[in-house]
Amino acid sequence: MSSPNLHPMLNVAVKAARSAGSIINRAALDVEAVRISQKQVNDFVTEVDHASEKAIIETLLTAYPDHGILAEESGSQHGAQGADCVWIIDPLDGTTNFIHGFPVYCVSIALAVRGKVEQAVIYDPSRNDLFTATKGRGAYLNERRIRVSKRTRLQECLISTGFPFRKGDNFNAYLQMMGDVMQRTAGLRRPGAAALDLAYVAAGYADGFFETGLQPWDVAAGSLLVTEAGGLVGNFTGEADFLEQKECLAGTPRVYGQLVSILGKYSKFASAGDKAAVREAAAPAYAADGASELRDEEGPDAAESGSPAKDDDAPF
**To which CATH superfamily is domain 8-146 assigned?**
Fructose-1,6-Bisphosphatase, subunit A, domain 1 (3.30.540.10)
Burial annotation 109-134 (CB, 10 A radius, 16+ → b, else e): bbbbeeeebbbbbbbbbbeebbbbbb
Q: Are strands 158-161 and 187-189 parallel, antiparallel or unpaired?
A: parallel
Residue 53: the pLDDT is 97
Per residue in 281-302, is it b (16+ CB within 10 Å) or e — as a string? ebeeebeeeebeebeeebbbbb
Q: Which residues of the chain have pLDDT under 50?
A: 1-2, 4-5, 285-316
pLDDT digits (tens, 9 = 90+) for 39-90: 776 678 899 999 999 999 999 999 999 999 999 999 999 999 999 999 999 9
Q: What is the pLDDT of residue 173?
A: 82
Which one of 3.40.50.2020, 3.40.1080.10, 3.40.190.80, 3.30.70.1230 gives the CATH number of domain 154-313? 3.40.190.80
Amino acid 310: pLDDT: 39
135, 141, 144, 148 alpha-carbon torsion, rounded to 10°:
-70
